[in-house]
Amino acid sequence: MGKRLFIAAKLPLSDQTRKKIDFIRDRLNYEKIKWVEPQNVHLTLKFLGDTDEELIPQIEEKLQQIAGQIPFNQVEIKGLGVFPNPFKPRVLWLGLQYEPALKELYDLIENEMELLGYEREHRDFKPHITLGRIKFLKNRKNLQFLLDKFKNTEFQSVKVNKIILFESELFPTGPVYTELAELQLQQI
């Protein structure tokens, strides 16, 4: 039997950041957006998808090796944006400043998971925190106002000090994430 898995870093949000997110949500409360619950906020490093349970120990072993090579670091949460673009927004996100150590972590995970048979991600690495998935927008101008207002906002600095292997179970009320393994990054 398989489990739906992904590799991520948890990013605890400050009260000040949560207030800004609440402001954004309030301005978009009449739109059809599936919001991410605060306890589910994370930086996805690799979505593995349906995975045979027998493979989980090998994944954990690879992640342990990776965690021992990468030092933890501070990352700035900065800016509000959408994927794929403002004309056809599907995902509303907070950006993360590009950090070489974060890119190195991402690349190592991609390389090691490819060795286990997972397909490489073909899109460029754009570190972000998903706030919500946009189903339908009535007022694009309101979204554009928010994108302009928070485009260069520095929300907070956050430590990326561990990577986590999560199981994701999908329910009508939203996903439930269960930690299967937590691996501490190298402390320098």
So which residues are the catalytic ones? 42, 128
Phi, psi (rounded to 5 degrees) for 150 = -105, 10
Cα(66)–Cα(55) distance, integer angstroms: 17
Cα(103)–Cα(97) distance, integer angstroms: 11
HSE value, Cβ hemisphere, 13 Å, CA-based, for 131: 24
Strand order in the sheet with 176-184: 42-52, 2-10, 162-169, 176-184
CB 149 within 8 A of CB 165: no
Q: Residue 144 contacts by C-beta under 8 Å, 6 or more apart in sequence?
A: 86
Nearest to 8 by CA among 80, 92, 96: 96
